[in-house]
Chain A
């Protein structure tokens, strides 16, 4: 079965580029443009990876991150945050809330892909 990623990103063109890139690597990419339902969708889907933007309509990426981490079943879920707000404060908030990796926009495709590989390689080793 192919690996499954839930991508929460309201910039459709970024979402599309990521969908293409990860699709080529054999990922099944589920995109969400709104933060409000993200937690519920992720809980149901139990994906191999979550990619989260910070500034989202409905609910911020930080809130989603905190809610996911509050759920014991999702404590180990790899979560990669993508954000244009690369201030150290945001990074601190994300790290406090238990993000797996924090990446600032604009990133290179290679950077993003290798982060995805790193995060999921360790995940499968544990499983």
Chain B
């Protein structure tokens, strides 16, 4: 039955909730009880003055009666029906269900949302080794030590004629490594048991989006040619297996709109030609192609040969887009290092900073980072602008020696930086694992 057709059910529901008798309501609005009964059973269409009168007698907005439960509730119920494998005919009755039993519908919808959250948690925990930099480092330590012990032990066991010097040497090594293994194992257990707050709670839609973009290698040939075509973008996001949640599809759509806008304003040929002339120098390139630096940074990230990473954050400092680059860690849980130029430029819209970055305590890879912050188009008069900061992360070139060198971290918990004014919480690295 159509949603509009259920107005009668909603009137009945509201009347019962208000503890009013059918006859009393009928009298109050000046119709017969039997006519109201027909209305309440959806046997008579209702509208206009009569609807307004009933709404006012029940003390509700007329739309509550005509439109019923809010759309969000209905869509959650549909998801529940879908997950449970209900037939399409049954699933289509979500509205009717919500209209007749709003309390129960809420219970079901809340349970459905709770299930989704828990599923994300399970997924995240399953995937934790890949996403928790600290855990990954500890596991690396464990496996390396285990590898040394395994190799050494089997030499001792399998080599019939082992010279005494080698034998002594390997015994010492095994002794050292077994202690190290015991210590790391203990520390790891401590980490896993301690501080339940460090347990990730959500596998974020952001990560789904990153997986989706990575599977396309951050290049969308169709958008390069089609421009900002909503249908093309919808097709890309609707069919992507990586985009599981509604939120992820929403974010991906926004990202692709930006990609299309950027591609139209700054075609790849124009960009690569400018880079050939000026090198990968975003400010020089931006001046040449007469485009904002932020756009140049985003477009440069789409050139595979530059092997660049890209981060975008909004005014709150939340990272809303990331293209990973090997060796530069962007924490998935917990906040990023505030020393990154990405955040430094938030307070200085328009300024373009250039710095050589090294993330302490991991691989010692260096990166050339260019960051800038730009205001988004005004949303109205007298409204402070929304801003976005963009940071392009290029593998360090040996020629870029003139820029400032910055030692930064990934996130405080796994950062060894001493005496850091920006530190938010103690590092577990200093206690050693």
Q: Closest chain A residue to B326 by CB distance?
A: A62
Is there contact, CB below 8 Å, between A14 and B144? yes
Pair A55/B151 contact, Cβ less than 8 Å = no
Compute how far the CA of A57 lies from the CA of B361 in the bound complex, rounded to whole angstroms: 9
* A11 interface contact, C-beta 8 A: yes
Could you tell me the distance between the alpha carbons of A109 and B154 in the complex, rounded to whole angstroms? 7
How many chain-A residues does the 8 Å CB contact rule pick out? 30
Given contacts A16-B169, A84-B139, contact A55 B363 (CB under 8 A): yes
Asked whether B140 is an interface residue with its Cβ less than 8 Å from the other chain, the reply is: yes
**Which residues of chain B in 317-331 are interfacial with respect to chain A, using CB atoms and an 8 Å cutoff?**
326-327
Contact partners of A20 in chain B: CB under 8 A: 155, 166, 170
Most chain A CB neighbours (cut-off 10 Å) among B142, B146, B173, B364? B364
Complex: A76 Cα to B152 Cα, angstroms = 31
How many B residues have CB within 8 A of the partner chain? 32
Separation in Å of the B264 CB from the closest CB of chain A?
30
> Contact: B144 with A60, CB < 8 Å?
no
Most chain-A Cβ atoms within 10 A of its Cβ — which of B148, B151, B176, B177? B151
State the majority secondary structure of interface residues on B. Answer: helix
Residues on the A chain within 8 Å of B176, using CB: 13
Binds B, one of A25-33, A37-45, A85-93, A116-124: A85-93
A89-B150 in contact (CB<8A)? no
Give the residues in chain A near B141, CB-CB below 8 Å.
84
Q: B155 contacts which of A11, A17, A84, A105 (Cβ < 8 Å)?
A: A17
A21 within 8 A of B: yes
Decide if B143 touches A84 in the complex (CB within 8 Å). yes
Contact with B along A1-31 (1 / 0, CB 8 A): 0000000000101101110110000000000
Given contacts A13-B173, A63-B326, A106-B147, 4 further A-B pairs with CB under 8 A are: A17-B148, A18-B151, A63-B395, A87-B130
Closest 4 CB pairs of A and B: A84-B143, A105-B147, A106-B147, A17-B151
Q: Can you list 8 contacts pairing A with B, beta carbon distance less than 8 Å? A: A11-B147, A11-B148, A13-B152, A17-B152, A59-B364, A63-B327, A106-B147, A109-B151
